[in-house]
Amino acid sequence: MTKWLSQRALQLKPSATLAISAKEKELKSKGIDVIGFGAGEPDFPTPAHIREAAKQSIERGETFYTPVGGTPELKKAIVHRISQDYQLSYEPEEILVSCGAKHSLYNIFQAILDPGDEVLVFAPFWVSYPEMIALSGGVPVLIPSQEKDFFLPDGARVEAAITRRTKAMIINSPSNPTGILYPQETLHQLAGLAEKHDLLVISDEIYDKLIYDDAKFRPFPSIPGMKDRSILVNGVSKTYAMTGFRIGYLATTNRLIVKAATDLQSQSTSNPSNPAQAASIEALQGPQNEVEVMRKIFEQRRNLMFNLINETDGLSALKPQGAFYAFVNVSALAGKNGITDSGDVAKYLLERHHVACVPGGPFGSNEHIRLSFATSEEKISEGMARIQKACRDLK
C-alpha cells in the first residue's frame, strides 16, 4: 500500500551503485564467489595513524555533540589542506563539515533551490545529482556529451540549455563514472558561461587526489574570477580510504550559503560524528605519504583493467585519468542473447558470470557499464577473464 507515502518518496530512485553493492553482498552471503567491480570505495584499510586518532578521541571522551557545522579544529585543518595543496585561501567561517560530501551536496541544493530552479548537470553524471536536485524541488537539466569528445561538456550545448531559471551548474572532475579530468580549457569555458549568465558553480572535487599519468588537477575556485561564485565540495572518503567515517565538507566565500546549509543541518542531522571529525583532522594535517602510496596502486590497477578492457572483443573504454572507474562502452553487445541495454549487460554479468558492475543508465548512458578498479590486481585479472568469457559466450 502506497497511500501513506509522499509523492517525493514515490518518485525517488534509490542509489543504483548502493543497490549493486547490496546485490553483490547477498550473492556472497549465499557462498557464491562474486568478483565486485561495483564498489565506489577504496579497498585499503584506513591508514593506521588516522584510526589511532579516532581511538584517542574516544578515549579523551569526545563522544558528545560538537558545533553543528563541525569543530573549529577540523575547519582549520580543512582550510590548511586546501591552502597547502592549492594555495587557495578560505576562512574557517567559510566551511561547513557534513556527514560525507554527499550530505554537503544535499545541504547545498536544499539551501539554494526553489521549486522550478534549474541546475545544469553534465552527462554522464554521478547518480545522486539529479535525485538530490529533484528532492530539493529543483530541475536537473541533463546535458549530453559524446564519448568521442572525451565526455567533455560542449560549450555551445551548455549555453543553449541556460534559461532564466538556471541557477547553478555542477562540475565533477575527475568524474564518476568516466574518470575524465576536465582540461583547463573546459574549466575556463564553463567559467566564462557562469560569469556571463551569473550562475553558481558547485565543484565536486572528491577525487582530486586520485589523478594519473602526472596530469595536474586544478580546483575550480582557483580559475580567475570564480572563487566567489563557486562552492567547493570535498571530503576524506576517497583520498584517505575513510568512507565509513562519513566526513565531507563545502567551502565557499558566500557565507550566507554556509549559514543556510548549517541551519539546515541543525534541523536534520546535527553535527557529523565527533570521533570521525578527530580522525579527519589527523587525515588532513598528518603525514600525507600514504595518499601517494594508494594513488600509485590505483594507477597500476587502472593500467591493468584498461588494457584488459580494450583487448576484449565487444568492449572499449577511454583511459581514466582520475578516480577509480572505467566507463566501458558495451553497445557492441546489443542484440546478442536478448541484450538491449547496459542494465541487461550488468544483469547477465552478475547472474551468469558472477561479476558485479553498475549499469550506465543511472549515470546517463545506457550504452555503458561502470567498472570500479578499487580492488586487487588479482581480482581485476579474474573478473576481466570472466567478462571476456561472458563476451565470447554471447552469440
Ligand X SMILES: Cc1ncc(COP(=O)(O)O)c(C=O)c1O
Measured from the CB atom, is 90 or 106 closer to ligand X? Answer: 106
Phi-psi region of 92 (alpha: psi -120 to 50; beta: other; left: phi over 0): alpha
Cβ 244 to ligand X, closest distance in Å?
Answer: 9
What dihedral do alpha carbons 310, 313, 317, 320 form, nearest 10°?
-30
- Contact by Cβ (8 Å): 168, 200: yes
Cβ 204 to ligand X, closest distance in Å?
Answer: 5
- Contact by Cβ (8 Å): 19, 40: no
**Alpha helices, DSSP H, located in the chain:** 7-11, 16-29, 48-59, 72-86, 101-112, 128-135, 155-160, 184-196, 255-266, 274-285, 289-310, 342-353, 377-393
Measured from the CB atom, is 126 or 373 closer to ligand X? Answer: 126
Measured from the CB atom, is 75 or 354 closer to ligand X? Answer: 75
Say which DSSP state 187 is in: H
Measured from the CB atom, is 179 or 383 closer to ligand X? Answer: 179
Q: What are phi and psi of 230, to 5 degrees?
A: -120, 155
Residue type at 292 in one-letter notation: E
- Contact by Cβ (8 Å): 265, 98: yes
Rounded Cα–Cα distance for residues 206 and 99 (Å): 14
Cβ 278 to ligand X, closest distance in Å?
Answer: 17
Measured from the CB atom, is 246 or 354 closer to ligand X? Answer: 246
Measured from the CB atom, is 42 or 92 closer to ligand X? Answer: 42
Measured from the CB atom, is 17 or 189 closer to ligand X? Answer: 17
Measured from the CB atom, is 172 or 312 closer to ligand X? Answer: 172
CA triple 359-365-366, angle to 5 deg: 60
Cβ 76 to ligand X, closest distance in Å?
Answer: 20
Cβ 22 to ligand X, closest distance in Å?
Answer: 15
Q: Which residues lie below 8 Å from residue 69, measured CB to CB, with a gap of 6+? A: 75, 95, 96, 97, 258, 262, 265, 271
Cβ 317 to ligand X, closest distance in Å?
Answer: 18
Burial readout 302-331 (b: 16 or more C-beta within 10 A, e: otherwise):
beebbebbeebebbebbbbbbbbbbbbbbb
Measured from the CB atom, is 207 or 348 closer to ligand X? Answer: 207
Residues that bind ligand X (CB under 6 A): 40, 100-102, 126, 172, 176, 204, 206, 235, 237, 243, 248
Closest by alpha carbon to 189, among 215, 154, 165, 218? 154
Task: Find the helix packing angle between 274-285 and 72-86, rounded to 10°.
Answer: 30
Q: Which residues lie below 8 Å from residue 187, measured CB to CB, with a gap of 6+? A: 171, 173, 218, 220, 223
Cβ 328 to ligand X, closest distance in Å?
Answer: 17
| Residue of this chain nearest to ligand X (CB atom) | 100
Cβ 105 to ligand X, closest distance in Å?
Answer: 7
Cβ 311 to ligand X, closest distance in Å?
Answer: 28
